[in-house]
Amino acid sequence: MNLLLKNKLYNVLAVSRLLNSLGAHIYNLVFVIYAATQFRSTWAISVANIIMVLPTIFSFYMGIQADKTKKKANALFSAALVQTVLFFVMSFLLQSTTIGVFALVCVMNVITDLLSDYSSGLRLPIMQKNLKEDELMEAYSFFQFISCVSGIGGQALGVWLLSLTGNNFSIVAMLNACFFLISGILLYTHKKHLTHDEIEITSSQSIKQQLGDVIDGIKVVFETNASGNLLTTLSCILLMNALGGALGSIYTIYFLDKSLFGMTYGQSLLTINAILVVSMIVGSLTPNDYFAKLSLTKMMICNAIALTGIGLSHLLGLSEFVGVVFLAFSAYIGGKVNPKIDSLLLANTSPELLARTDTLLTMLFTLSLPVGTILFSTLATIHIHLTWGMFAFIGFIATILAVRSQLATEKSKLVSA
C-alpha cells in the first residue's frame, strides 16, 4: 500500500489495471448471459465459453509482439483506444440478436482480450525500469488484490446493471468502453513517466527458437533464486494449481450430502468461497510478513502441506474447523506464491524476453486449472471419499516435489560455499 501512495508511476499502472480488470470481469459474465438469454441455446453458451478462453492459445504470440514493441507507452495508449472503439461498436451491435451479430461480437471480444494480453506485456519493462527489486513483491501482491476485488465486484456490478436496466447489454458494453477510455487517457497524460530500457530487436527467429530462449530464461529465474530444479519446481506448482482450481467443483458435490457447521447447501458454498477470497486477499495485502519473506520453495512446501491437509481432513472425517483452517492457510499462501514468481521473473529476465516469458508461464498455470477441475469433478460423481483420497495423494506428491526442490537448493548453496 505504501508503494501505491509513494510511487506515481505505480499508482497510474494500478488504477489502469483496476479499470481494465473491472471492465473485463463485468463484460465476460454479461457476454455469457447475453448468449444464454438472447439465443436460449446451449450451443451459444458453449461458443461464448470457448471465445473467453480462446485468447489464451495466442497469449505467447502476443507476448512476443509486446517484447518487440519499441515505444511501449504509445502502444499502451493505442491499445486502450482501440479497445474503447471496439466496445462502443459492440454497445450498438448488442441491440440486435441475429447470428451474424453474435459472430461479429465474438470476434471483437477475442480481439479485445488479445489486446489486453498485449498491454499486460507492455507494462512489464516499464515496471522493471521504475521499481526497485525489493518493491516488486509488494507491487505484484497489490495487483493480485486488484484482480480478486475486480473479479468479485465486476461480476456483482454486471448482474446488478442487468437487473436494473432489464438486461440492457448495450449499457454494459458502453460502460466497459468508458473504463478503457479513462484508462487510456490516464496512461496518455502520464506518458512521460512510462519509461523503460531501450529494446534491442534481434534478428528474426522461429517460434521454436524463441520458445527455447524463453525456457532458458525461465531456468535461470527458477534455478538461481532458491527454487531448485526447473522441472521439479514447475511440476509442483502445476499440481498445486490443479488442486486449488478443483476445490470449488469438489465442494459443489461434497456439500450435497454434508454441510458446513450446519449451514444449508448454498450457505456452505458461499462460506467456502468467502474464506478462499478473503484469505487470498489477506495474503496479497501482507507482502512484508514472515511468509512473504520465505523463498519460493518454502512457500510451496507450506501450500502443498495445507492442500494435503484439506484432503486428509475430509477423508478422515476430522472436525470441519480443521478443514477450514487448512483451506484458509492454503489460500493465504496462494496469495503470495504468484506475486513471488512474478517478482522473481521481473528481477531476473531481460526486457527483450519479459512479456513472452510471463505469458508462457501464465498459459501453463491457466491450463492446469481445467485439468484438475475435470479430474476431480469426474471422481466426485463416482465417490467423494475417492476424490478426497486422490486429492490428498496428489497434495502429498506436490509436498515431496517441493521438499526435493528445497533440498536441491540447499545442496547447491553448500557446494557454492
Q: Encode pLDDT of 271-282 as tens digits.
A: 888 888 889 888
Tell me where in the chain the CATH 1.20.1250.20 domain(s) lie. 2-193, 207-416
Q: What is the pLDDT of residue 373?
A: 81
Residue ranges, the chain, pLDDT below 50: none
Question: Taking CA 55 as the corner, what is the angle to CA 51 and CA 59, rounded to the nearest 5 degrees?
Answer: 170
> Which tens digit of pLDDT belongs to each residue from 338-376?
888 888 777 777 777 777 777 778 877 877 877 888 888
Distance CA 306, CA 325 (A): 9
Q: Which residue has the cell 518454502?
A: 298
* Residue 233: C-alpha distances to residues 104, 254, 280, 399 (Å): 42, 31, 22, 11
- The per-residue pLDDT for 48 is 78
Q: Exposed/middle/buried for 109, CB within 10 Å: 0-12, 13-18, 19+?
A: buried
Whole-number pLDDT of residue 1: 57
d(CA 412, CA 117): 36
Measure the CA–CA gap between 75 and 390, rounded to whole angstroms: 47
* pTM score: 0.77
118-149 core/surface letters (b: 16 or more CB in 10 A; e: else): bbbbbbbbbbbebbeeebbbbbbbbbbbbbbb
> For 207-416, CATH number?
1.20.1250.20
Give residue 200's pLDDT.
63
Dist CA 330 CA 327 (whole Å)? 5
Q: What is the pLDDT of residue 392?
A: 94
- Helix, strand, or coil here: 354? helix
pLDDT at res. 41: 67
Give the whole-angstrom CA distance, residue 273 versus residue 265: 13
Phi, psi of 229 (to 5 degrees): -70, 140
Give the per-residue pLDDT at 225: 57
- Rounded CA-CA distance 345/234 in Å is 14
Looking at domain 2-193, its CATH superfamily turns out to be: MFS general substrate transporter like domains (1.20.1250.20)
What per-residue confidence (pLDDT) applies to 51? 79
d(CA 253, CA 257): 8
